[in-house]
Amino acid sequence: MDIITRDQLAALLDNLASSRTLIAPCEAEDVLLYRRVPSSAEVAWDFDLPVLSAKGALFPPTERLMTVEKGGDAGEENAVQLNILETIFEDEQVIFGVRPCDARGFKALDALLLETDPMDTYYARRREKTTLIGLACGQMGPSCFCTSLGGAPDDWRDVDLMLTEIEDGYAVKVVTEKGRALLGDLSLRELPGEPTAPVLNDPLPVPGDEAWTSQFKDGFWDNLAERCLSCRICAYVCPVCRCFDVRDELVPATTFCYDQYERIRCWDSCTGVNYRKIAGGHNPRSEKGQRLRNRFNCKFYYYPQQYGVIACTGCGRCIDACPVNIDITEVMEHLVITQEGVSK
């Protein structure tokens, strides 16, 4: 295996930070987040799983799609010239310390945003400009279940460059040309052997399509949802939840004028009350149970049906962030057990 030392890696990241945006796990007042860092000095080297996934680097919580502003004189009387300026993401960015579950999350997003017509050009642009440096997990956390969904704590398939921490630094695996380009002419030391394999949790059973369709009207959903707060934590910490809302808003100005508007899109979540509200005020998903049912069906049934991949990577963030202990693995287990009972 090829080895990069911690010092070499820090120098590499500093070098990258000088020419492009470097995003890395860092502590923001006791909260571990992927954030833009000016240098490797800010990087939290020993980290488990940041509270939010790395999703925001490619799908920001708020993204301005374009601005519309009044331009100069259009020449004719009463005519107004409008200038429309589309936002085009230009920066090259590198995300360091991407966990395999988050990298898999980008793959799942690609299925909808890149590979399904029409392509989401905003996401596509960012995706193209982004290089992922993965970091393998030494062991699975108590809430992790990536191996149940085809991932692994050392899965290198979805990143450009994979690092695995070892005693003397990191084992490096070049996965793509993009990854190779990051290393440049850096000379890596060669060591015999391979990094130690990570410690795994026992895989959980995953409900099949039949379980989701046959239990659609089960009272389970209402019972589960009773304690649900209808907040959006689960969707916002998730590496694959990608719902958004688009709105045209006035750009705040220091002077009171109505000259510039922006079209923004922001994260949204199907667990929120208003999400499914339609014109006229009707809400076909007005009950909490209906909303949670949608959330889980989307992940394991609707999204795979439409885009071919499960919209969950088993990162376990929603389990650990939910204030009322709504647990995706408990849902999976319930569906599997009930389905087995039905099949017998």
Does 232 help bind another protein (rule: CB under 8 A)?
yes
Among 80, 324, 337, 342, binds another protein (CB under 8 A): 324
Among 19, 187, 325, 343, binds another protein (CB under 8 A): 325
Interacting span for another protein (CB under 8 A) from 22-30, 77-85, 152-160, 196-204 = 22-30
Report how far Cα 296 is from the mean position of its chain's Cα atoms. Answer: 17
DSSP string, 76-128: STT-EEEEEEE------EEEEEE-HHHHHHHHHHHHHHTTSSSP-HHHHHHHH
Q: According to CB under 8 A, which residues from 195 to 224 bind another protein?
A: 223
- Sorted by sequence, the CB contacts under 8 Å of residue 41 that are 6+ apart come out as none
Does 267 help bind another protein (rule: CB under 8 A)?
yes
Distance CA 208, CA 212 (A): 7
Contact predicate 122/89, CB 8 Å? yes
Of 210 and 245, the one with the shorter C-beta distance to another protein is 245
* Residue 161, strand partner residues: 133, 174
Contact predicate 25/40, CB 8 Å? no
Helix axes 100-113, 121-128, angle to 10 degrees: 140
Does 260 help bind another protein (rule: CB under 8 A)?
no
Does 233 help bind another protein (rule: CB under 8 A)?
yes
Interacting span for another protein (CB under 8 A) from 25-33, 71-79, 125-133, 173-181 = 25-33
Of 51 and 174, the one with the shorter C-beta distance to another protein is 51
Nearest alpha-carbon partner for 195 in 48, 7, 3: 3
Interacting span for another protein (CB under 8 A) from 24-32, 67-75, 90-98, 166-174 = 24-32
Does 34 help bind another protein (rule: CB under 8 A)?
no
Distance CA 198, CA 252 (A): 50
The torsion angles phi and psi of 151, rounded to 5 degrees, stand at -95, -175
Residue 4, helix vs strand vs coil: strand
Does 319 help bind another protein (rule: CB under 8 A)?
yes
Does 230 help bind another protein (rule: CB under 8 A)?
yes
Among 272, 283, 307, 336, binds another protein (CB under 8 A): 272
Q: How far is the CB of 222 from another protein (least distance, A)?
A: 10
Q: How far is the CB of 15 from another protein (least distance, A)?
A: 28
Does 243 help bind another protein (rule: CB under 8 A)?
no
Distance CA 341, CA 129 (A): 49
Which chain residues interact with another protein by CB under 8 A? 28-31, 33, 51-52, 61-62, 142-143, 223, 226-227, 229-233, 236-237, 245, 247, 249, 252, 264, 266-267, 269, 272, 274, 277, 319-321, 323-325, 327, 330
